[in-house]
Structure 1
Amino acid sequence: MTYSYISRKRASPKIPFYPSPLDIVKLMLDLAEPKEGQTLVDLGCGDGRILAEAASDYGCSVIGVDSNPMLVSYARNKLLERGIKNFRIIKGDLFKFDISSADIITLYLTHDALEILKPRLEFYAKPGAKIIAHDFPVPGWRPLLFVSKVSAEDGRLHKIYLYEVGKSLKKDILYATDEFGERHETSRVLKIRKDAHKGGEEA
């Protein structure tokens, strides 16, 4: 029997670039608590500010994914200028990127984008991975922690949702769907994670 990721084909929504204020970035990372040796993936990394702060302040490896080549170039140069070496910036589709190695995933996406991304997070993100969503919650998930804060930079109220794969779903056991539409506990088919697409190319 062959296991594969099954999803309805939907056009990827356009995601506007709206950078998180630096004080909100620091709050997100404080909640995620990255550790040296861990990998943080920012889906829709924009100008790379989350990556830069995570690598500089916490010493973790960072990977950013964005479809905008100008932002990818800008983010790459920013990290290089700060002397950060343990990073990758990917020009590609965040909805197809391989997230199976991520210990932490950061998201600042729209509701529609999260609806599309959610099945992939449930299927490919490894158990125990932390997911930090800014302003927009992952539909149907229960956050382990919710924090709101008015940013000193833009004066706006920002909402941060902290999730953990395996604990934040309506059911605590993740499921994979096989080619016959039957569900199986994800722990029995973890090997399929290795088949995730890279979803982009190095900048």
Structure 2
Amino acid sequence: MKELQLGNEELSSGVEKRTSNIGLIFVGLTGGAAVAISAVCLPFVSPALRKVCLPYVPATTQQVENVLRALKGRSGTLVDLGSGDGRIVFAAAKIGFKADGIELNPWLIAYSRFTAIMRGLSSRVTFFRKDLWKFNLEKYDNVVIFGVQQMMDEVEEKFNSELKRDSLIVACRFPLPNLEPVAIFGHGVDTVWVYKSAASPKYTINFWTP
């Protein structure tokens, strides 16, 4: 009887040990997966512009549509400041713009360039890993900016000093603080404000609204 009891105790101990080992393996695997996911995602969500904390937040479908509506009737060159995964740049290229993206995050630049090749848009788009504040905008006919509130004063000054007389500015999420918009599309987080640079003559194109 004693021997049977000892055998049962050994069997129970073995089962517990195996269960414990399986638990440790499971924890190790899930922990490893979490670390791997973090390693992949972190470069994409880290700030895209170092001077101001501007995290990568992909534009929504509605935001892209509102930007395209703001660009209706326009042509020429376009730059998206803080281009993220490139979706605004690609959308603009598809409707005829020669579009550039400015982005500091190297992972997002690599992703955008790869996507451009896959979509056959390499001849119409270019992505630069540059600091927004050191990148000159004078050659662009159209500028798109997805900014944060604390940067809009300074970026407005940059627009006024560098953009051409007929350049169009499309500000998303936050308006420019001093310029008067010539049109507004959308509402809430999807709102876009349309401006002409301060040195430009009065804007005469009539924008249609919903």
Give the 4+ runs in structure 1 shifted more than 6 A: none
| Structure 2 CA distance for partners of 1:65 and 1:46, relative to 1, 3 Å | same
Residue 14 (structure 1) aligned with residue 46 (structure 2): no
- Structure 1 counterpart of 2:116: 79
Q: What is aligned with 1:165? A: 197
Paired position in structure 2 for 1:8: none
Indicate conservation of the 8 Å contact 2:81/2:102, yes or no: yes
Q: Following TM superposition, by how much is the alpha carbon of 1:45 offset from its aligned partner in structure 2, in angstroms?
A: 0.3
Greater Rg by CA:
2
Amino acid at match of 1:20: A
Number of matched pairs: 152
Task: Name the counterpart of 2:63.
Answer: 24
Give 1:49's match in structure 2, choosing from 58, 65, 87. 87
Aligned equivalents of 1:32, 1:163: Cα separation in 2: 11
How big is the shift at 1:34? 6.0
Contact 1:34/1:104 (<8 A) preserved: no
Counterpart AA for 2:54? I
Task: Report the Cα distance in structure 2 between the residues aligned to 1:115 and 1:130, rounded to whole angstroms.
Answer: 17
Separation (CA, whole Å) in 1 of partners of 2:80 and 2:57: 14
Matches within 5 A, 1:103-114: 103-114=141-152
- Given that 1:128 and 1:166 are in contact with CA atoms closer than 8 Å, whether structure 2 keeps it comes out as no
Superposed CA deviations along residues 43-82 of structure 1, whole A, max 9, x for unmatched, are: 00000000111101x1110110011000111111111111
| Residues 82 and 34 of structure 1: CA distance in aligned 2, closer, same or farther (over 3 Å) | farther
Q: For the structure 1 residues 34 and 43, does the alpha-carbon distance in structure 2 shift closer, same or farther, using more than 3 Å as the test?
A: farther
Cα offsets for 1:109-150 (capped at 9, x unmatched): 10112222121110001111110011100111110011224x
Match of residue 102 from structure 1: 140
Q: Which amino acid aligns with 2:139?
A: S
Could you give the per-residue CA deviations for residues 71-120 of structure 1, whole angstroms, max 9, x where no partner exists?
11111111111101122100010112111011110010101122221211
Correspondence list, 1:39-188, <5 A? 39-56=77-94, 58-84=95-121, 85-149=123-187, 157-166=189-198
| Structure with more of its chain in helix, by fraction | 2
**Over aligned residues, Cα RMSD in angstroms?**
2.0
Contact 2:70 2:194 in 1 (8 A): yes
Paired residues of 1:40 and 1:105 also in contact (CA < 8 A): yes
Contact 1:34 1:60 in 2 (8 A): no
What is residue 17 of structure 2 aligned with on the other side? none
* SS of residue in 2 equivalent to 1:46: coil
Say if 2:66 and 2:185, in contact at 8 Å, map to a contact too. no
Q: Which runs of 5+ in 1 are unaligned?
A: 1-10, 150-155, 174-203
Aligned letter for 1:120?
K
* Letter of the structure 1 residue corresponding to residue 66 of structure 2: L
The 3 A distance-change label for structure 1 pair 66 and 34 is farther
